[in-house]
Every structure is written in structure tokens, then in C-alpha cells.
């Protein structure tokens, strides 16, 4: 009898229970926020912010804007979506430009999406038409105008060949290389021993006497000159090939 009861109990335990008889497992549904901002919308807002920044700064060069690293997008609750864009570090040409896109929901900040963009600027620049050796006095035949990328370097480039004529190569310059304030310099226009006009302004009156250059000088250089009237050696600024100006305090 006990064996029969045990067998019946085992069969009963193996039978499936109804939902009302067993423990209930409740899985909460994932809440999907109704509004979606796509990555493309963030890129668009970042691009608009960069364009506004460049326009406000008077930038007129041809430029391109591309994304480097932009969030995939986000979901957010119902409400009116607007944007506020800032460039905390400004535009860094050719490098990464950080753009903060604030997402506003009903006028209040919901979150900030940080977008890394690349801005490239191009201009028509004076470049070397052929290889120039150090010390070469530059002529029109040595130059041409080509479009080149400006990468934000700490030098000045030139857009008019006339700005470069008569300068000399500070170092060797390769064919096609951009001519800049770094790789050229003014030609020597006063040589040691040259007789020059030495000018000073004394009590508002310009006084000129004859002097003798004691060293070579380029336009804008300060060189030693001897005042032939007093035999004193002073330092003066080279104005042109005939004139050196000294400051009198």
C-alpha cells in the first residue's frame, strides 16, 4: 500500500501546474522613450555651430567639415527638442575641433553630446615653382599660385607673388612647397662699410647726418653704425638701402 501511495505522489509531482498553482515570475517591460535623435542630427548641429563660428570670425577661405567621433544618438521623453551649440576651444584647423551640442527639452538642458569634428581650410598660396637653394634671391619665375591646405601653423603664407619678390630663401625650399615667413627673409640691403644717411628725431625735429654701416643689415634689422660726425657707434633700424634710423631718448 505504501508503495502505491509513493508512486501516486511521484506522478502528481511530475504533472504541470497551472499558473494559479505555481509561483508567478513577472518581467517588467523595457520602457522605450518615444523620441530619438540620430547621429546625423548631431553632426548637422555641430556643422551649423562651426559654420556660425567661422562666419562670425570673418573666415572666408574655402573649408570642409567632417566628423571624427560623434555619439550614435539618444532617446528622450516627449517634449520640444531644441539645441545649443558651443565650441569651447574654437576651431582648430586640420586637428580635432570639439563641439558641445546641448540637447534642450522644453527649454531645459537634457544632456550634452560631445562631437569631435575636423575642419580643413584651403587658400590660394604662393608656392615654389622649382627647387630653391638657400640664399637664392626669389624672382617671379621661381613662384606660382596653387591651392593648399592651411593647417593652422604659426607662420604667415602669401597670396600674392609680389609679396615675395626680392626676398631670399632662408633655407632650401622644395618644388611645390608653400612660401612662408619661416623659409624666406629680406635680402641684405646694407653691407658693412656702406655709407648711409643716419637719421634721428630730436625734440620733434628730424636730424640727418652721414654714417657708416658696421655690419650687414636687412630691412627692419637693427645694426651698428658709426656717426661720422661724432665717431660714436650707435644701433639703428634699417629703413632702406640708404637710410638707418636711430632712437634718441
The 10s digit of each residue's pLDDT in 16-51 is 544 444 455 555 555 678 899 999 999 999 999 999
**Spatial contact of 20 and 91, defined as CB atoms under 8 Å apart:** no
> What is the pLDDT averaged over residues 92-96?
95
The residue ranges of DSSP E strands in the chain, in sequence order, are: 35-38, 62-69, 73-76, 81-86, 96-105, 108-128, 143-150, 168-169, 184-185, 188-190, 195-202, 205-213, 217-218, 222-227, 232-240, 243-246
Indicate the domain borders of the chain.
Answer: 35-121, 122-185, 189-246
Domain 122-185 and domain 189-246, same fold? Reply is no
The 10s digit of each residue's pLDDT in 63-85 is 999 999 999 989 999 999 999 99
- Share the mean pLDDT of the chain: 89
Residue 139 makes CB contacts below 8 A (sequence gap 6+) with 165
Q: Is the pLDDT of residue 13 over 70?
A: no
Q: Is the pLDDT of residue 98 over 80?
A: yes
Query: Helices then strands (H, E): number in the chain?
Result: 2, 16
Confidence of residue 230 (pLDDT cuts 50, 70, 90): very high
Of 84-88, 158-162, 191-195, 245-249, minimum mean pLDDT range: 245-249
Is domain 122-185 annotated with CATH 3.40.50.970? Answer: no
Amino acid 26: pLDDT:
54
Helix (H) or strand (E) holding 39: helix 39-56
The 10s digit of each residue's pLDDT in 144-164 is 999 999 998 888 999 999 999
**Spatial contact of 127 and 148, defined as CB atoms under 8 Å apart:** yes
**pTM of the predicted model over 0.95:** no
> What is the pLDDT averaged over residues 213-240?
93
Which CATH architecture group holds 189-246? Roll (2.30)
Amino acid 29: pLDDT:
55
> What is the pLDDT averaged over residues 90-111?
97
Confidence of residue 189 (pLDDT cuts 50, 70, 90): very high
Q: Is the pLDDT of residue 1 over 70?
A: no
> What is the pLDDT averaged over residues 237-244?
93
Amino acid at each position: 500500500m505504501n508503495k502505491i501511495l509513493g508512486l501516486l505522489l511521484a506522478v502528481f509531482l511530475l504533472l504541470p501546474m497551472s499558473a494559479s498553482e505555481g509561483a508567478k515570475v513577472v518581467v517588467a517591460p523595457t520602457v522605450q522613450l518615444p523620441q530619438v535623435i540620430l547621429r546625423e542630427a548631431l553632426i548637422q548641429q555641430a556643422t551649423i555651430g562651426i559654420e556660425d563660428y567661422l562666419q562670425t570670425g570673418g573666415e572666408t577661405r574655402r573649408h570642409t567639415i567632417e566628423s571624427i567621433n560623434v555619439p550614435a544618438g539618444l532617446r528622450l521623453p516627449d517634449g520640444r527638442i531644441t539645441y545649443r551649440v558651443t565650441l569651447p576651444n574654437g576651431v582648430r584647423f586640420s586637428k580635432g575641433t570639439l563641439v558641445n551640442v546641448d540637447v534642450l527639452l522644453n527649454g531645459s538642458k537634457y544632456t550634452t553630446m560631445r562631437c569631435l569634428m575636423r575642419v580643413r581650410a584651403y587658400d590660394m598660396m604662393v608656392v615654389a615653382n622649382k627647387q630653391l637653394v638657400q640664399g637664392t634671391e626669389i624672382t617671379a619665375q621661381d613662384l606660382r599660385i596653387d591651392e593648399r591646405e592651411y593647417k593652422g601653423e604659426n607662420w604667415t603664407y602669401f597670396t600674392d607673388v609680389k609679396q615675395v619678390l626680392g626676398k631670399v630663401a632662408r633655407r632650401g625650399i622644395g618644388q611645390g612647397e608653400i612660401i612662408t615667413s619661416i623659409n624666406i627673409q629680406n635680402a641684405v640691403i646694407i653691407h658693412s662699410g656702406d655709407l648711409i644717411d643716419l637719421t634721428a628725431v630730436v625734440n620733434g625735429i628730424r636730424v640727418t647726418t652721414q654714417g657708416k654701416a658696421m655690419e650687414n643689415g636687412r630691412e627692419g634689422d637693427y645694426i651698428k653704425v658709426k656717426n661720422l660726425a661724432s665717431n660714436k657707434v650707435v644701433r639703428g633700424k634699417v629703413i632702406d638701402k640708404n637710410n638707418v634710423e636711430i632712437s634718441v631718448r
